[in-house]
Chain A
């Protein structure tokens, strides 16, 4: 087993980068899926296989295909050796396993399970002793490696029971800062300043902050910067040590920190002596009283007679950077100050310094923290205007509210019958404009009236009075067509049109039109309401085929696509038969004459010829209704003729009396 020492103490591995990779490699005989945890800490790679190997098993670790372990890692097989390896971690392992003796602890962990997994992570010594950790100390910063762990039977090291892989990049450690910070006495405190190197953007340029450590003349160094001091691109970084005793000598040094919080080795040391005299002591107690938009800071008077006044310092938002907020010195006998420049419900921390007659400020008091109270609503937005946009959208614009703690605007919408407004904005808007595109999937409903409200909201959640606007969405959208249409010849008297209504809700009426063959539509009926969706066309011409169509019209006059059907409207009653038919032969042929038939829809007459009175008729021709005569140039002697009247519907009358062709006198 190959290890590196010293190991991190139990439970204290600084996790720099952890990669879990599971690889499924097979079916029944193939290696099963496993997980491999890889931790990079302090330039070493800690490879944690999935579990503690059982008796007769061991882990083989490979890096980039090269085997790192000469023999499978099995862990120690003797409880006494196990106890010696875990050393001080034994107490932790006893708590994890709830066992007392080393032998019981060893057996419990060798059995695997949750306790073994926890021990593997929290105690690197136990993981090593159990054969469930390999420490690779031969890596170089900046390299990327692929690790493979294979669980094998010791009897058959060439067949893997379980395989897991992980790829890890060994990240550089932060470089110690250099040179030493520049320290000097300023305002009874020690100010440290240093110039970080310029950002290069290189992969190893990972320092983002610094930590300040301090020691007195002989003692050890301890961190004094509670928060990291950020590395700045455009100016020097600095730290102010206010907790110094007069005339004491202090030593300071820096450590660089990366984004993961890893610290570099310390940089060079600088020594600064604190000022010989101190300013007056701060007030013993500082308290605040919060009212709407104001914070009253009070403190006790100073027992030192040389105190001439006070200064108040403030930090906002939990930030530890204090800035002086009192322009003039607060008199010594009136130890209070009212902060009127507070914003919303911001958190403020105050501290007070006393000043002596020479203007020398003492150390700060203990800070007191409070949250501002803001119960004043912001001003109402004005000039709210709703402008229609294409696509049934509406743009709302208003005049911005000048409140300094304004968080944004909330836009609400209601329809005509709504009693409550629905809020459209999930977060307060910063801009004084909003485009209402309607609902999530559909735009605003055409033809419908909407009301909008815009309220201003400040950082405390106070809401202004609403600004209102209304707009009716222009209905330029035709309704849907009637679903079906049916035409029926009603006893030859009229055409009955029946349809089912449009699914659109804003249909005001239906227009029924008849379109003749020449294409000119004629309005037949206009039906209002939805109870009886039918109409009758009593003026339809009989005979020609025509098209009837139903068009839904909405309240804005938009017409739907037509729903149409075609019908040949016919008269079902025959016209009267012609009378007084005569047939006289002359030079031009057989001249037929008959008496004009009176019928409103008479189209003409059809002439038939037969050889006998009861013989079969041969249709000769059809003549118009205006000319009740016909010349049969090929009529043979003795021919018989009959004439039928025919109406526009094609109905033929009964035969006229048979006329026998006679010679002209």
Chain B
């Protein structure tokens, strides 16, 4: 009984210790993020054009190295915070409020929301960030997944469509779009989209392969063969 009580005390104490240790780690990581964000902003300021100058300064290798190192450190510390659970997420939220211009922190806030399985927050945060980066494909992908999680399939499809049209040669985006259209039963519309994108990217082999694939899925084998032959330069 005593042993059990001792064990319980030890366990509780270990958890508390572990919790305390975790809080220490989170606080340290948050401090490190603040410090490295400051380093990063300093390096970026030094790379900005001088007052009255028309172009950027000639990049200094030392400044560039400092900037890259700061970015890497921020990413590492933010990863630690994301994996630290709710405490880490709360720390990231505080950092995002403190550092509204730090894009890496704001992305980490979205990633933390994803890790916490909070699609509504993902959407809210992604929309806020999207104002300054409307063509960011990563944001589009996060939004599409969040819409899926919320059951808003039409919006998800639209986000995936926008993502694929911005980066048509990204295989992940294409696969997700095909599955979304399959689920929605709108593969014929996807075929029209591919035909349109082929006008925008006439030299893209990937887009042609996508069109051939979608034609196969639709059972339009003769058209697929014709496009394949045209791509290879065969005579039918």
Contact = CB atoms under 8 A, between A and B. Distances in A.
Interface string B160-185: 01110110000000000000000000
A301 B134 contact: no
B135 A284 contact: yes
Given A281-B134, A281-B135, A333-B158, A303 B140 contact: yes
B165 A301 contact: yes
Nearest to B196: A298
A304 B134 contact: yes
A300 B166 contact: yes
A299 B158 contact: no
A335 to B, nearest CB: 7
A310 to B, nearest CB: 13
Select the residue from A280, A285, A301 with max chain B CB neighbours within 10 A.
Answer: A301
Contact of B162 (A285, A286, A299, A303): A303
Contacts of A304: 130, 134
Give chain A's interface residue range (CB within 8 Å of chain B). Answer: 20 to 34
B199 interface: yes
Interface residue tally of chain B, by bracket? 10 to 19
Given A281-B135, A298-B199, A336-B196, A305 B155 contact: yes
Contacts of A305: 155, 158-159
A287 B199 contact: yes
| Interface secondary structure of B, over-half rule | helix
Interface of B: 130, 134-135, 140, 155, 158-159, 161-163, 165-166, 196-197, 199-200
Interface in A326-374: 333, 335-336
A287 B200 contact: yes
B130, B140, B200, most chain A CB atoms within 10 A: B200
Contact of A289 (B158, B159, B165, B199): B199
Contacts of A303: 130, 134-135, 140, 159, 162-163, 166
A296 interface: yes
A289 B134 CA distance: 27
19 contacts: A281-B134, A284-B166, A285-B200, A287-B199, A287-B200, A288-B199, A289-B199, A296-B199, A298-B196, A298-B199, A298-B200, A300-B162, A300-B200, A301-B158, A301-B162, A303-B163, A305-B158, A333-B161, A335-B196
Contacts of B166: 284, 300, 303
A130 to B, nearest CB: 37
Contacts of B159: 303, 305
Most buried by B among A280, A298, A305, A336: A305
Contacts of B135: 281, 284, 303
Given A300-B197, A301-B162, A303-B163, 15 more contacts: A281-B134, A284-B135, A287-B200, A298-B200, A301-B158, A301-B161, A302-B162, A303-B135, A303-B159, A303-B162, A303-B166, A304-B130, A305-B158, A305-B159, A335-B196
Contacts of B130: 303-304
A305 B139 CA distance: 12
A177 B162 CA distance: 48
A261 to B, nearest CB: 26
A335 B197 CA distance: 10
A300 B162 CA distance: 8
Contacts of B161: 301, 333
A595 B43 CA distance: 159
A571 to B, nearest CB: 98
A180 B81 CA distance: 58
Contacts of B140: 303
A266 to B, nearest CB: 21
Contacts of A335: 196
Nearest to B131: A304
Contacts of A281: 134-135
Nearest to B139: A303
Contacts of A285: 200
